[in-house]
């Protein structure tokens, strides 16, 4: 059979009998053709619901009447606003750790699909952004892991929003330590000056949507934003799969305040 007929027949079969998608977590069949999570694994994810900080997208305490969270009142960051889909907690945290430890591209793509679905549903929030840029890994780290999960997410969101993804326009010039092991001051210093734009002309005069898997202190995203603003970008928004507050992690330990 020629390639053409084989492709044609496969296409026809897929149309009549859609290939079953298996849950990236438990392996059960999913009911949804484009979402790689079964209803049970999907329902376990801690999706963010209002009230959220209008600036960084983190959960606000229910009692507060403010629109801005304490983190945003204290810190001046270089991106204009950030949004996330889930809290960095429970299964969302476990799935992201799984991506890193097992180097699971299947799970990374499944999570990217979730982010893409959110971007499509909330497309009004992202219409102004002309270009999508993933937070880069250092070259050595990316070789070690085999892929950059932020770039996997950027690709999925780029398709959902029909925007070009410029992977490689922003680079990490030195290997940085994992932020999770550091305190607030160390986190800031760890990423300071760690990013560089390779082709400023591609960003000049444009609004950029920066993609990553997690936002905690926001310092990494802020440093990326700073590098892109210096290169001539007019505004940086951030979209991450998860967000979390450093203070909450610390207060549960009862130290480091």
Please give the residue ranges that form the binding site for Zn ion (CB under 5 A): 23, 25-26, 38, 41, 53, 55-56, 58, 69, 72
Q: Which is nearer to Zn ion, 21 or 150 (CB)?
A: 21
Q: Which is nearer to Zn ion, 54 or 192 (CB)?
A: 54
CB 72 → Zn ion: shortest distance, Å? 3
Q: Which residues pair with 81 in a beta bridge?
A: 237
CB 253 → Zn ion: shortest distance, Å? 22
Question: 3-state SS string over the chain?
Answer: CCHHHHHHHHHHHHHHCCCCCECCCCCCECCCCCCCCCHHHHHCCCECCCCECCCCCCECCCCCCCCCCHHHHHCCCCCCEEEEEEECCHHHHHHHHHHHHHCCHHHHHHHHHHHHHHHHHCHHHHCCCCEEEECCCCHHHHHHHCCCHHHHHHHHHHHHHCCCECCCCEEECCCCCCHHHCCHHHHHHHHCCCEEECCHHHCCCCEEEEEEEEECCCHHHHHHHHHHHHCCCCEEEEEEEEECCHHHHHHHHCCCC
Burial class of 9 by CB neighbour count within 10 A (0 to 12, 13 to 18, 19+):
exposed
CB 149 → Zn ion: shortest distance, Å? 19
Q: Which is nearer to Zn ion, 30 or 155 (CB)?
A: 30
CB 138 → Zn ion: shortest distance, Å? 28
Q: Which is nearer to Zn ion, 91 or 200 (CB)?
A: 91
CB 51 → Zn ion: shortest distance, Å? 11
Q: Which is nearer to Zn ion, 68 or 202 (CB)?
A: 68
CB 35 → Zn ion: shortest distance, Å? 11
Q: Which is nearer to Zn ion, 41 or 214 (CB)?
A: 41
């Amino acid at each position: 059979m020629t390639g053409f007929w084989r492709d044609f027949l496969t296409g026809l079969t897929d149309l009549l009998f859609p290939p079953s998608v298996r849950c990236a977590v438990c392996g059960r069949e999913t009911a949804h053709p484009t979402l790689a999570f079964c209803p049970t694994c999907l329902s376990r994810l801690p999706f963010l619901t209002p009230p959220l900080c209008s600036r960084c997208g983190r959960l606000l305490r229910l009692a507060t009447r403010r629109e801005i969270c304490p983190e945003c009142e204290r810190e001046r960051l270089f991106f204009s606003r950030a949004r996330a889909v889930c809290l960095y907690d429970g299964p969302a945290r476990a799935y992201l750790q799984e991506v890193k430890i097992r180097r699971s591209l299947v799970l990374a793509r499944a999570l990217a699909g979730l982010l893409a679905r959110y971007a499509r549903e909330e497309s009004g929030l992202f219409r102004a952004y002309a270009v999508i840029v993933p937070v880069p890994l250092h070259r050595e780290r990316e070789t070690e892991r085999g892929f950059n999960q932020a770039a996997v997410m950027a690709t999925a969101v780029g398709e959902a929003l029909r925007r070009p993804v410029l992977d490689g326009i922003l680079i990490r010039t030195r290997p940085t330590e994992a932020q999770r092991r550091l305190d607030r001051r160390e986190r800031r210093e760890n990423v300071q000056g760690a990013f560089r734009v390779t082709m400023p002309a591609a960003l000049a005069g444009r609004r950029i949507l920066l993609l990553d898997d997690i936002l905690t202190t926001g310092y990494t995203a802020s440093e990326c934003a700073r590098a892109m603003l210096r290169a001539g970008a007019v505004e940086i928004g951030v979209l991450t799969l998860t967000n979390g507050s450093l203070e909450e992690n610390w207060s549960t330990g009862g130290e480091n305040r």
